[in-house]
Amino acid sequence: MVWCKSIDEIIDMKFICNPMQDKIKEIREQSNAFEIIDLESAEQYRLKFLVKKGLINLLFQEFRSVEPEKKKKFGAELNVLKKELESKHKEGLQSLNKSESNEDNTSLDLPAYFNDLGSRHPISHTIEHMTEIFERLGFDVVSGPEIEDDWHNFSALNFPKNHPARDMQDTFFVDKDHALRTHTSSVQVRLMENTKPPIRSIMPGRVYRNEAISARSNCFFHQVEGLYIDEEVSFSDLKQTLYQFVQEFFGPDTKVRFRASYFPFTEPSAEMDIYLGLETESDARLTKGTGWLEILGCGMVDVNVLENCGIDPSKYTGFAFGLGVDRIAMLKYGVKDLRTFFYNDKRFLSQFSSL
Ligand code: PHE
């Protein structure tokens, strides 16, 4: 056995007796003895060893007063220890995560998680169906803002200054000059102002009116309005387009009728009804006992409106129409209360998930 030690070894021996060396050893031992078994113990480990006031940082503070010639050795050892502790914490957390996800994947007894798949809203679906039919008839789709100024929602459309539709009771005003649009005819004005005829477009969108909320009416609803402007567009073009639409949407045998009506922005104006009959109780209710259900307003664009929008009425004529989407969706899906479309109740909406 060789008892004699080299100078280096003797210096090393001295280090072994150094308090810093002892502390490094002790902390390492404490760390090794610490078991990270769950999130709570992982956090306790972090608090004990790794935070600013934890053991490793205390040691770094003491390190400042170590004699200069020993700094290199202890500095290196301290850094190794710090890395060790950090990776123990990190690996502890990782294996906790893993074991959690293993549980989910491997336990065959657990009930399966079913992802709720979203579906198109019945109102969106109705708008899409309408749009698709009008696109086939040569209409394109345009949209516009829901907050409108007086000009686009009313004045350009020939509403007299004292027209009741401007009244606070019908319109949600945002400020003195702006309101939530009460119809998508405002988009027609924007289109006419910015486009040279021929124009053949539909404007689907949400509109707002300050109406009492009930099973049949709401303070917001949806419209698909349409506009066709070109040379020699006539009322019979209007009728033909709407007939075509109704036959595609409601079926080839659907009976319709036009009734004379009034809108400030069309002249002549009409409303179109479809015949539902009186066979079921709900038909009777929806049609108020007549068998006929009004589904749209329409007419030839008023000369004043064309002029307001910079279109020459001596050269161009046009027709416009506006369909109410929500009522048609009620009819299509047999929904008795309009409000149920907008409660966002999954039990209601999931019934349309195959659309
Ligand atoms: N803007 C009308 C409404 O909201 C509908 C309509 C559009 C009527 C175009 C005629 C022509 O009631």
Given a cut of 80, whether residue 110 has pLDDT beyond it is no
Task: Check residue 264 and give its pLDDT.
Answer: 94
The residue nearest atom 5 of ligand 1, judged by CA position, is 322
Residue 320 in tokens: 């416009």
Task: Check residue 14 and give its pLDDT.
Answer: 42
Ligand 1, residue 183: give the atom nearest the CA: 4
Distance of CA 188 from the midpoint of ligand 1 (Å): 11
Distance of CA 321 from the midpoint of ligand 1 (Å): 6
Distance of CA 315 from the midpoint of ligand 1 (Å): 23
> What Rg, from alpha-carbon coordinates, does the chain have?
38
Cβ-based neighbour number of residue 248 at 10 Å: 17
Q: Which residue has the higher pLDDT, 114 or 43?
A: 43
Distance of CA 158 from the midpoint of ligand 1 (Å): 12
Continuous segment of H or E residues that includes residue 330? helix 325-333
Cis peptide before 68 (omega within 30 of 0): no
- Residue 307's identity, in one-letter code, is E
Given a cut of 60, whether residue 102 has pLDDT beyond it is no
Nearest 5°: the CA angle 226, 232, 236 is 60
Query: 263, 294, 305, 317: which to mutate for ligand 1, most atoms within 8 A of CB?
Result: 263
Task: Check residue 331 and give its pLDDT.
Answer: 87
Distance of CA 232 from the midpoint of ligand 1 (Å): 21
User: Model confidence at 9, in pLDDT bands (50, 70, 90)?
Assistant: very low
CA distance 25 to 20: 9
Best-predicted range by mean pLDDT (59-63, 241-245, 291-295, 327-331): 241-245
The residue nearest atom 10 of ligand 1, judged by CA position, is 298
User: Model confidence at 55, in pLDDT bands (50, 70, 90)?
Assistant: very high
The proportion of the chain whose per-residue pLDDT surpasses 70, expressed as a percent, equals 92
User: Model confidence at 98, in pLDDT bands (50, 70, 90)?
Assistant: confident
The residue nearest atom 6 of ligand 1, judged by CA position, is 322
Ligand 1, residue 207: give the atom nearest the CA: 4
Given a cut of 70, whether residue 3 has pLDDT beyond it is no
Only one residue has tokens 């308090």, namely 19
Ligand 1, residue 226: give the atom nearest the CA: 9
User: Model confidence at 106, in pLDDT bands (50, 70, 90)?
Assistant: low
What domains can be seen in the chain, in order of their start residue? 10-98 (no CATH), 122-352 (3.30.930.10)
Given a cut of 90, whether residue 314 has pLDDT beyond it is yes
Q: DSSP secondary-structure letter at 47?
A: I
User: Model confidence at 287, in pLDDT bands (50, 70, 90)?
Assistant: confident
pTM of the predicted model over 0.75:
no
Instruction: Classify residue 201 by burial, with Cβ atoms within 10 Å: 0-12, 13-18, 19+.
Output: buried
Ligand 1, residue 227: give the atom nearest the CA: 9
CA distance 179 to 154: 10
Residues 6+ apart with CB under 8 A from 239: 258
Task: Check residue 86 and give its pLDDT.
Answer: 94
| pLDDT tens digits, one per residue of 121-180 | 999 999 999 999 999 999 999 999 999 999 999 999 999 888 887 876 689 999 988 999
List residues near ligand 1 (CB under 6 A). Answer: 183, 185, 225, 263, 266, 297-299, 320-322
The residue nearest atom 9 of ligand 1, judged by CA position, is 321
Distance of CA 88 from the midpoint of ligand 1 (Å): 71
| For range 309-337, the mean pLDDT | 94
CA distance 92 to 98: 10
Ligand 1, residue 223: give the atom nearest the CA: 4
Task: Check residue 35 and give its pLDDT.
Answer: 93
Of 213-227, 261-275, 277-291, 335-349, the one with minimum mean pLDDT is 277-291
- What torsion, rounded to 10 degrees, do the Cα atoms 110, 112, 115, 117 define? -150
| For range 97-113, the mean pLDDT | 70
Distance of CA 298 from the midpoint of ligand 1 (Å): 6
Task: Check residue 271 and give its pLDDT.
Answer: 97
| For range 16-31, the mean pLDDT | 82
Ligand 1, residue 188: give the atom nearest the CA: 9
The proportion of the chain whose per-residue pLDDT surpasses 90, expressed as a percent, equals 65
Residue 115 in tokens: 């992802």
Q: What does the mean pLDDT of the chain come to?
A: 89
The residue nearest atom 4 of ligand 1, judged by CA position, is 183
User: Model confidence at 78, in pLDDT bands (50, 70, 90)?
Assistant: very high
In sign, the C-alpha dihedral spanning 145, 147, 149, 153 is positive
